[in-house]
């Protein structure tokens, strides 16, 4: 899977703001766009992709299967509907967005249906999102670690998910960090702003560079073209070991996304 490590997230963006964000992102050089069925913006992302004039092979597109569609008979039809909205024949990556609430659908059933969708050509790669270690083990048992391209989880300086990240690394499963800027909280973090001032960078760039240095993919979102452009520069920012260690020390378990149907976290 050749997924660009720095992507563009679209969570909470809908309508023209979603179209403009993706269009601006593609113009600026983003080549990885992340959406999901529940975001209600797959059609908007599709419009931006269709009008970008970029060849299909130039843009990596991820979508995520919502919990209502995790049953073996429902998953592939829902993914076909996503493809219709995105105006694509195939996505590059399809993820189970959340484990089935109350385990209504077994992990094995969803993963095997997702693997079948890949084999049918609906997606190039498959993966998971919001899976703690225990459920990662179930997913691995169902389809094999080699078939799980990534686990997309909340990961930022205040929630570093170390147990999960270590297990993923051990299994050879890539980690994608969502909410990488902690809803903008890193902008006011003294440790990070001090590093940013010294390097002539922004707090967002420093945070994203820290995540990239750890080998994670990141998918920040923004409606502002200047922020989109600034975030891209994180790819070329190199942090000193002591800067990475200082940010490492900010971990306080500060989880921001924890819906009532969430699994038992590590």
Is 97 marked within a binding site? Answer: yes
Question: For the chain, what is the largest distance between any 2 Cα atoms, rounded to a whole number of angstroms?
Answer: 55
CB 153 within 8 A of CB 178: yes
Amino acid 126: pLDDT: 98
Concatenate the DSSP letters of all residues of 119-173 into one string. Answer: HTTSEEEEEEES--HHHHHHHHHHH-GGG--EEEEE-BTTB--HHHHHHHHHHT-
Tens digit of each residue's pLDDT (9 = 90 or more) over 141-171: 999 999 999 999 999 999 999 999 999 999 9
Amino acid 1: pLDDT: 66
Tokens of 151: 């686990």
Query: 3-class secondary structure for 7-20?
Result: CEECCCCCHHHHHH
Tens digit of each residue's pLDDT (9 = 90 or more) over 19-61: 999 999 999 999 999 999 999 999 999 999 999 989 999 999 9
Contacts of 60 (CB under 8 A, 6+ apart): 2, 3, 4, 7, 31, 32, 33, 92, 93
Q: How confident is the model at residue 246 (pLDDT cuts 50, 70, 90)?
A: very high
Element (H, E) at 257: none
Tokens of 41: 């913006």
Tens digit of each residue's pLDDT (9 = 90 or more) over 170-227: 999 999 999 999 999 999 999 999 999 999 999 999 999 999 999 999 999 999 999 9
Please state which CATH number belongs to domain 8-248. Answer: 3.20.20.100
User: Alpha-carbon distance 55 to 209, whole Å?
Assistant: 28
Q: 254 by DSSP, 3-state: which?
A: coil
Tens digit of each residue's pLDDT (9 = 90 or more) over 71-99: 999 999 999 999 999 999 999 999 999 99
User: Alpha-carbon distance 207 to 229, whole Å?
Assistant: 15
Report, as residue numbers or ranges, the catalytic residues. Answer: 39
Amino acid 50: pLDDT: 97
In degrees, rounded to 5, the angle at the alpha carbon of residue 134 between the alpha carbons of residues 143 and 82 is 50
Contacts of 1 (CB under 8 A, 6+ apart): 92, 93, 124, 125, 149, 150, 174
Q: How far apart are the first and last CA of the chain?
A: 27
Q: How confident is the model at residue 234 (pLDDT cuts 50, 70, 90)?
A: very high
User: Alpha-carbon distance 126 to 130, whole Å?
Assistant: 14
Return the half-sphere exposure (C-beta side, CA atoms, 13 A cut-off) of residue 187: 5
């Amino acid at each position: 899977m050749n997924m660009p490590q720095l992507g563009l997230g679209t969570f909470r963006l809908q309508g023209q703001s979603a179209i403009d964000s993706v269009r601006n992102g593609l113009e600026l050089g983003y080549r990885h766009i992340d959406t999901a069925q529940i975001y209600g913006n797959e059609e908007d992302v599709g419009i931006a992709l269709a009008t970008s004039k970029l060849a299909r092979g130039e843009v990596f597109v991820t979508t995520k299967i919502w919990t209502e569609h995790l049953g073996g008979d429902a998953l592939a039809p829902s993914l076909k509907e996503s493809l219709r909205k995105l105006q694509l024949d195939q996505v590059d990556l399809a993820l189970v967005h959340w484990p089935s609430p109350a385990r209504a659908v077994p992990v094995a059933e969803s993963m095997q249906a997702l693997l079948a969708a890949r084999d049918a050509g609906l997606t190039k790669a498959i993966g998971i999102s919001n899976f703690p270690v225990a459920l990662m083990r179930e997913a691995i048992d169902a389809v094999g670690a080699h078939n799980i391209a990534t686990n997309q989880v909340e990961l930022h300086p205040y929630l570093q998910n170390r147990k999960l990240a270590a297990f993923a690394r051990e299994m050879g499963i890539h980690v994608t960090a969502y909410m990488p800027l902690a809803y903008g909280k890193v902008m006011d973090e003294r440790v990070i702003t001090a590093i940013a001032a010294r390097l002539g960078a922004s707090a967002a760039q420093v945070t994203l560079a820290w995540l990239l240095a750890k080998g994670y993919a990141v998918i920040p979102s923004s409606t502002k073209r200047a922020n989109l452009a600034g975030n891209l520069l994180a790819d070329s920012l190199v942090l000193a070991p002591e800067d990475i260690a200082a940010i490492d020390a900010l971990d306080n378990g500060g989880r921001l996304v924890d819906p009532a149907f969430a699994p038992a976290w590590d």
